[in-house]
Amino acid sequence: MLVLGWGIVMDQSSLARFRAARERWARDVLGPALARQPERAPRFSTVSDLEIARLYGPDDLAGADPGLPGEYPFTRGIHPTMYRGRLWTMRMFAGYGTAEDTNARFHYLLAQGQTGLSVAFDMPTLMGYDSDHARALGEVGREGVAVDSVEDMDLLLRDVPLDRITTSMTINAPANVLLAMYVAVAASRGISPATIGGTIQADMLKEFIAQKEWIVPPRPSMKLIQDLLVYCTREVPRWNTISISGYHIREAGSTAVQELAFTLADGIAYVEAGIAAGLDVDAFAPRLSFFFDVHNDFFEEIAKFRAARRMWARIMRERFHARNPRSWMLRTHAQTAGVSLTAQQPMNNIVRTAIQALAAVLGGCQSLHTNSMDETYALPTEDAVTVALRTQQIIAHEAGVTHTVDPLGGAYAVEALTDRIEAEADAYIRKIDDMGGMLAAIERGYPMREIAEASYRYQQQLERGEKTVVGVNAFAQDEPSPIPLHAMDPDVERRQVERVRRVRAARDAAAAARARDALRRVTESGGNTMPAIVDAVRARVTLGEICQVFRDVYGEYREQAVL
């Protein structure tokens, strides 16, 4: 008997029979067919340029055992019943203008059946600047909501039941500050930090690699993340402390394999950081979560999610010796690929998003954001967001794909691709290990260079017509496709600038100064900054003022720009 890697037992004679049949088929059926009608291209490959074979069969299944869902190594999903038990969380990323504007969008989305919140912050907030800072000019409330102080956070969360709704906050360099504000708002409503749930992105490694919103250099950035890990493990146990993100890596132009490999390598660095901070691996690893892109290439994406779960389970059990099965589970949010959307014929984006969302579901994601068709132009309109949310609801309730667990498990092509992506991502991780880990690799510019190469390669393939984007380099139309766009209130910046100045003027100046000094001292001494940040936000010290303490103590990061 030959045990094929994935648990299907096939005896030697059946495999030999299959191989003989395949040879006969190639000779008698395939050969004449190709002679009559050659294939459309000499080579077929994914959007990431991974070559795809004509046909996969049982002899391609030499890889690892996908096992069963809900148990190690979780290739087939982290829950034994998957979506039969509970659907994924439909979580639409939203944020624009002032806190009141975004709060209104949140209530609209909750009324439409959304089940969790996800906050998009504006660029000055992401970079740790207050709305009245010179560098914030023209950016306030544009790509997300402006949050300068705990008062903005309170308005943002007005009438949101923080003990029942979980909130995801896409914030990295100033993550500790925004989490402190969230905790402070919950406390002011009598809700203990122990009962609130949510996610904070806090993944600085991928910022240096791809998203590029930073404040201080990589090493002090990791120290601040350690503070967050330790604080949440003790005080906010239901919070997902780091959302280890491949999304931005992929959007910056990486391949699917690079996205997976760099993300897991980042995860390895965070686990090492938590252990170095004195935490037991099983005390914090269950609260690490992931965030992947889901791009156009359907089977490549599904295989990527399946490989991700299996690889992380192995890493956690074999490399870090975690014993709690929850530490082995890769729980992930997914977002459809913004970069795949086209300005041309924007209605086509609804279809792209639907295909990508279906791949995320067949890949076994835990929560999902679907992009809106108009996002190559502006933040989405309410109508466009509604279609995007309905897309998820149609997949969940009409398509029938939720009725059975991992319906593509065992499909020769999907299993073979899963193995292939795992092997290639493993090779990248070994290379990064050899460099001394992801922090060292980033300092050498390695992942950034790999991504720039891949994105330039793809662009050239596109220009040569080797890759097709409908409506752009094929099936183009001359006439424009006008769609209504979300209009920004031009007055947002002025109102937000006034508000942060009002907050600074109205606060107890001495208490704010004391809180800032205390934060400076603990930052300088290397102690955990989180309690001092919570005290500071309560004393109405602003986001920009807190981040300035970090700039003063650690210095500002400047990237060595490489082409």
Q: Which stretch binds another protein (CB under 8 A): 156-164, 211-219, 226-234, 266-274?
A: 211-219
Does residue 470 belong to the site contacting another protein (CB under 8 A)? Answer: no
Does residue 485 belong to the site contacting another protein (CB under 8 A)? Answer: yes
| Binds another protein (CB under 8 A): choice among 23, 508, 552, 559 | 559
Distance (Å, rounded) from C-alpha 429 to C-alpha 421?
12
| Binds another protein (CB under 8 A): choice among 70, 455, 531, 551 | 455
Taking the complex as a whole, the smallest distance from the CB of residue 103 to another protein amounts, in Å, to 20
Distance (Å, rounded) from C-alpha 44 to C-alpha 39?
10
**Single-letter amino acid, residue 402:** T
109 and 385 in contact (C-beta within 8 Å)? yes
Nearest to 114 by CA among 165, 45, 68: 165
Distance (Å, rounded) from C-alpha 8 to C-alpha 141?
55
Report the residue number, 40 or 558, with the smaller CB distance to another protein.
Answer: 558
| Binds another protein (CB under 8 A): choice among 148, 251, 297, 426 | 251
Taking the complex as a whole, the smallest distance from the CB of residue 562 to another protein amounts, in Å, to 8
Q: Which stretch binds another protein (CB under 8 A): 109-117, 193-201, 458-466, 505-513?
A: 458-466
Please give the full DSSP string across 455-514, using - where no structure is assigned. Answer: HHHHHHHHHTTSS--BTTTBS--SS------PPPPTTHHHHHHHHHHHHHHHS-HHHHHH
Report the residue number, 213 or 297, with the smaller CB distance to another protein.
Answer: 213
Number of Cβ atoms within 10 Å of the Cβ of 409: 21
DSSP state for residue 333 in the 8-state scheme: E
Site string for another protein, 301-340 (x = CB under 8 A): --------------------------------------x-
Taking the complex as a whole, the smallest distance from the CB of residue 482 to another protein amounts, in Å, to 8
Q: Which stretch binds another protein (CB under 8 A): 11-19, 248-256, 286-294, 426-434?
A: 248-256
Does residue 434 belong to the site contacting another protein (CB under 8 A)? Answer: no
Distance (Å, rounded) from C-alpha 216 to C-alpha 172?
11
Taking the complex as a whole, the smallest distance from the CB of residue 394 to another protein amounts, in Å, to 27
Tell me which residues in 129-158 interact with another protein (CB under 8 A).
129, 134-139, 142-143
DSSP state for residue 221 in the 8-state scheme: H
Q: How far is CA 361 from CA 213, 305, 420, in A?
A: 30, 10, 21
Task: Please report where in the chains the tokens 């909130």 appear, as a residue.
Answer: 167
Does residue 160 belong to the site contacting another protein (CB under 8 A)? Answer: no
Taking the complex as a whole, the smallest distance from the CB of residue 296 to another protein amounts, in Å, to 15
Does residue 252 belong to the site contacting another protein (CB under 8 A)? Answer: yes
Q: Which stretch binds another protein (CB under 8 A): 8-16, 246-254, 267-275, 532-540?
A: 246-254
Taking the complex as a whole, the smallest distance from the CB of residue 126 to another protein amounts, in Å, to 7
Does residue 213 belong to the site contacting another protein (CB under 8 A)? Answer: yes
Helical residues (DSSP H) of 83-174, grouped into ranges: 99-111, 123-126, 150-156
Instruction: Output b/e per residue, 114-138; b: 16+ Cβ within 10 A.
Output: bebbbbbbbbbbbbbbbbbbeebee
Does residue 225 belong to the site contacting another protein (CB under 8 A)? Answer: no
Site string for another protein, 375-394 (x = CB under 8 A): -xxxx---------------
Taking the complex as a whole, the smallest distance from the CB of residue 547 to another protein amounts, in Å, to 13
Q: Which stretch binds another protein (CB under 8 A): 74-82, 463-471, 521-529, 544-552?
A: 463-471
Taking the complex as a whole, the smallest distance from the CB of residue 153 to another protein amounts, in Å, to 20
Beta bridge partners of 288: 242
Site string for another protein, 168-207 (x = CB under 8 A): ---------------------------------------x
Does residue 563 belong to the site contacting another protein (CB under 8 A)? Answer: yes
Residues 6+ apart with CB under 8 A from 400: none
* Continuous segment of H or E residues that includes residue 10: strand 9-10
Residue 344, classified by CB atoms within 10 Å of its CB into exposed (0-12), middle (13-18) or buried (19+), is: middle
E strand map for 180-279? 198-200, 239-240, 242-245
Distance (Å, rounded) from C-alpha 323 to C-alpha 343?
48
Nearest to 175 by CA among 151, 195, 138, 205: 205
**Strand 2-3 to strand 9-10: parallel, antiparallel, or no bridges (unpaired)?**
antiparallel
Does residue 123 belong to the site contacting another protein (CB under 8 A)? Answer: yes
Which conformational region is residue 455 in: left (phi greater than 0), alpha (psi within -120 to 50 degrees), or beta? Answer: alpha
Taking the complex as a whole, the smallest distance from the CB of residue 388 to another protein amounts, in Å, to 17
Does residue 489 belong to the site contacting another protein (CB under 8 A)? Answer: no
Does residue 461 belong to the site contacting another protein (CB under 8 A)? Answer: no
Does residue 342 belong to the site contacting another protein (CB under 8 A)? Answer: yes
224 and 532 in contact (C-beta within 8 Å)? no
Taking the complex as a whole, the smallest distance from the CB of residue 197 to another protein amounts, in Å, to 29
Does residue 64 belong to the site contacting another protein (CB under 8 A)? Answer: no
Does residue 480 belong to the site contacting another protein (CB under 8 A)? Answer: yes
Does residue 452 belong to the site contacting another protein (CB under 8 A)? Answer: yes
Residue 194, classified by CB atoms within 10 Å of its CB into exposed (0-12), middle (13-18) or buried (19+), is: exposed
Chain residues binding another protein by CB under 8 A are 123-124, 126-127, 129, 134-139, 142-143, 207, 210-213, 251-253, 339, 342-344, 376-379, 452, 455-456, 459, 462-463, 469, 471-473, 480, 485, 488, 558-559, 561, 563
